[in-house]
Structure 1
Amino acid sequence: MATKEFKLPDVGEGVAEGELVNWLVSPGDTVTEDQPVAEVETDKALVEVPSPYDGTVKELLAEEGEMVPVGDVIITFEVGEEAPEGGSEEAEAGTEAEAEAESESEAAPAEESAESAESAESAESAAPAPGSGRVFAPPSARRLARELGVDIGAVQGSGQSGRITEADVREHAESGGGEASESAGPKDVEVGTRPSATTKRGEESASAAAGGAEEGGAAPSGVEAAGRDRTLAAPATRRVAEEEGVDVDDVPTDELREGEAFVDEAQVRQYADAVKRAKAAEAEAATEAEPSGAEPSAAESGAESGAAAESGAEPETIPYRGVRRTIGEQMQQSKYTAPHVTHHDTATIDDLVETRTELKERAAERDVKLTYLPFVLKAVVAALKEHRHLNSELREDDDEIVLKSEYNVGIAVATDAGLMVPVVDDVDQKGLLEIAAEVNDLASRARDRSLSREEMQGGTFTVTNFGAVGGEYATPIINYPETAILGLGAIEKRPAVKEVDDGGFMDDDGPSEQVVPAHTLPLSLSIDHRVVDGADAARFTNRVIELLENPQLLLLE
Structure 2
Amino acid sequence: MLVRGVLQKRSCWRSGNAYFFCRRLPSSTVEPTRMIDPAAVAHFSSAALTPIKSTFNCSYKLYDHKVHYFSTSAAAALEPVDNIIDIPLAQTGEGIAECELLKWFVKEGDEVEEYQRLCEVQSDKATIEITSRYQGKVVQFLHVPGDIVKVGETLLSISVDDSQVAPDVGELSSPTSQPIEPSKESSELTKSQEGESLSTPAVRNLAKQHGIDLNDVPGTGKHGRVQKEDVLSYAANLKTKPATVDPSSVKPTFDEPEQVPQPVAYESLHQDKTLPIRGYQRAMVKSMTAAATIPHFHYIEEINCDKLAKLKDAFQKQNSDPSIKFTFMPVLIKSLSMALTAHPLLNSNFNLEKYEVNLKGSHNIGIAMATPVGLVVPNIKNVQSLSILEITKELARLQKLAKENKLNPEDIRGGTITLSNIGAIGGKSGSPLINVPEVAIIALGRTQKVACFSDDGTVYPVSLMTANIAADHRILDGATVARFCNEWKKLIEKPELILLHTR
Q: Please report the TM-score for the alignment, with normalisation by the length of structure 2.
A: 0.60
Structure 1 residue 463: Cα displacement: 1.0
Structure 1 residue 437: Cα displacement: 1.2
Deviations along 1:254-282, one digit per CA (max 9) or x if unpaired, are xxxxxxxxxxxxxxxxxxxxxxxxxxxxx
Match of 1:442 among 398, 406, 415: 398
Partner of residue 457, structure 1 = 413
Partner of residue 411, structure 1 = 367
CA shift in 2, pair 1:400/1:52, >3 Å: closer
Q: What's the secondary structure of 2:368's corresponding residue?
A: strand
Structure 1 residue 488: Cα displacement: 1.0
Determine the C-alpha separation between the residues in 1 that align with 2:358 and 2:478: 19
Deviations along 1:60-114, one digit per CA (max 9) or x if unpaired, are 2223322223333332234456x51315999xxxxxxxxxxxxxxxxxxxxxxxx
Partner of residue 37, structure 2 = none
Whether 1:311 and 2:269 are equivalent positions in the alignment is yes
Deviations along 1:272-322, one digit per CA (max 9) or x if unpaired, are xxxxxxxxxxxxxxxxxxxxxxxxxxxxx9xx98xx334242x21111243
Partner of residue 133, structure 2 = 52
Whether 1:9 and 2:89 are equivalent positions in the alignment is yes
Deviations along 1:491-532, one digit per CA (max 9) or x if unpaired, are 222223346xxxxxxxxxxxx333333211111111111111
Match of 2:444 among 483, 488, 496: 488
Taking only aligned residues, the RMSD between alpha carbons, in angstroms, comes to 2.9
Whether 1:320 and 2:401 are equivalent positions in the alignment is no
Deviations along 1:206-241, one digit per CA (max 9) or x if unpaired, are xxxxxxxxxxxxxxxxxxxxxxxxxxxxxxxxx9xx
Q: How does 1:99-498 map to 2 (within 5 A)?
A: 308-313=266-271, 315-336=272-293, 338-365=294-321, 368-498=324-454
- Larger helix proportion of the pair: 1
Partner of residue 555, structure 1 = 499
Structure 1 residue 548: Cα displacement: 1.2
- Larger strand proportion of the pair: 2
Match of 1:533 among 468, 474, 477: 477
Q: What's the secondary structure of 2:393's corresponding residue?
A: helix
Structure 1 residue 484: Cα displacement: 1.0
Deviations along 1:351-388, one digit per CA (max 9) or x if unpaired, are 11111101122244485322111111122122222223
Determine the C-alpha separation between the residues in 1 that align with 2:495 and 2:270: 57
Structure 1 residue 442: Cα displacement: 2.0
Determine the C-alpha separation between the residues in 1 that align with 2:408 and 2:137: 31
Determine the C-alpha separation between the residues in 2 that align with 1:417 and 1:87: 43
Q: What's the secondary structure of 1:309's corresponding residue?
A: coil
CA shift in 2, pair 1:71/1:461, >3 Å: closer
Partner of residue 156, structure 2 = 75
Determine the C-alpha separation between the residues in 1 that align with 2:344 and 2:332: 17
Determine the C-alpha separation between the residues in 2 that align with 1:439 and 1:89: 51
CA shift in 2, pair 1:4/1:340, >3 Å: same
Match of 1:22 among 99, 103, 110: 103
CA shift in 2, pair 1:88/1:417, >3 Å: farther
Contact 2:85–2:160, Cα closer than 8 Å, also in 1: no
Structure 1 residue 3: Cα displacement: 4.1
1:481 partner letter = P
Determine the C-alpha separation between the residues in 2 that align with 1:415 and 1:11: 25
Deviates more, 1:374-383 or 1:394-403: 394-403
Structure 1 residue 59: Cα displacement: 1.9
Contact 2:434–2:441, Cα closer than 8 Å, also in 1: yes
Q: What's the secondary structure of 2:466's corresponding residue?
A: strand
Determine the C-alpha separation between the residues in 2 that align with 1:536 and 1:10: 44
Determine the C-alpha separation between the residues in 1 that align with 2:157 and 2:168: 11
Contact 1:3–1:76, Cα closer than 8 Å, also in 2: no
State which structure, 1 or 2, has the greater radius of gyration over its C-alpha atoms: 2
Contact 2:89–2:155, Cα closer than 8 Å, also in 1: no
1:479 partner letter = N
Partner of residue 203, structure 2 = none
Structure 1 residue 459: Cα displacement: 2.2
Q: What's the secondary structure of 2:281's corresponding residue?
A: helix
Contact 1:483–1:531, Cα closer than 8 Å, also in 2: yes
Structure 1 residue 469: Cα displacement: 0.5
Partner of residue 124, structure 2 = 43
Determine the C-alpha separation between the residues in 1 that align with 2:125 and 2:362: 25
CA shift in 2, pair 1:406/1:67, >3 Å: closer
Q: What's the secondary structure of 1:311's corresponding residue?
A: coil
Determine the C-alpha separation between the residues in 2 that align with 1:488 and 1:535: 20
CA shift in 2, pair 1:432/1:366, >3 Å: farther
Structure 1 residue 468: Cα displacement: 0.9
2:375 partner letter = L
Structure 1 residue 431: Cα displacement: 1.5
Structure 1 residue 475: Cα displacement: 0.8
Deviations along 1:155-208, one digit per CA (max 9) or x if unpaired, are xxxxxxxxxxxxxxxxxxxxxxxxxxxxxxxxxxxxxxxxxxxxxxxxxxxxxx
Contact 2:418–2:440, Cα closer than 8 Å, also in 1: yes
CA shift in 2, pair 1:389/1:72, >3 Å: closer
Determine the C-alpha separation between the residues in 2 that align with 1:10 and 1:470: 41
CA shift in 2, pair 1:309/1:22, >3 Å: farther
CA shift in 2, pair 1:426/1:35, >3 Å: closer
Contact 1:5–1:88, Cα closer than 8 Å, also in 2: no
Contact 1:342–1:475, Cα closer than 8 Å, also in 2: yes
Q: Please report the TM-score for the alignment, with normalisation by the length of structure 1.
A: 0.55
Q: Which runs of 4+ in 1 moved over 6 A?
A: none
Flag structure 2 segments of 5+ consecutive residues without an equivalent. 1-80, 171-228, 234-262
CA shift in 2, pair 1:498/1:10, >3 Å: farther
Determine the C-alpha separation between the residues in 2 that align with 1:70 and 1:397: 28
Determine the C-alpha separation between the residues in 1 that align with 2:153 and 2:460: 67
Identity score, percent: 32
Determine the C-alpha separation between the residues in 2 that align with 1:447 and 1:421: 12
